[in-house]
Amino acid sequence: MVSPSGRAVYQVLGSSGKPYTCYVSCHFCTCPAFAFAVLRKNDSLVCKHILAIYLSQATGTCQELSGSDQQLAGILLAEEEEEGLGTVC
């Protein structure tokens, strides 16, 4: 989803069917693999969900929706409440 202010949030379904919220502008994903392999161990630059976004953009298969800043804020707040995140991009 892209808001009028230019912020973009992507939701990618994981292999278990759970949607993960990704922020490509700052290379951040809410999946556990990102937290472990990218942030903690520094083994990878991105997780497979962010890679999937890059690939879908490159192949023209990414479904991008426009929404209001309020809708985007609602997605971010719902994610924060669900995951207990302290900081988002």
Interior CA angle at 14 toward 24 and 1, to 5°?
40
| Block residue for tokens 């209001």 | 68
Q: What's the average model confidence in pLDDT over 80-88?
A: 51
Residues 6+ apart with CB under 8 A from 73: none
Q: With a cut of 90, say whether residue 6 has pLDDT above it.
A: no
Q: What pLDDT score was predicted for residue 50? A: 96
Within 5-47, where are the H helices?
32-33
80: confidence class by pLDDT, cuts 50, 70, 90: low
Q: Which two tokens stand for residue 25?
A: 């502008």
Residue 48: pLDDT band (50, 70, 90) is very high
Instruction: List CB contacts of 21: < 8 A, sequence separation 6 or more.
Output: 9, 10, 11, 29, 30, 75, 76, 79
pTM beyond 0.85: the answer is no
Domain positions in the chain = 10-83
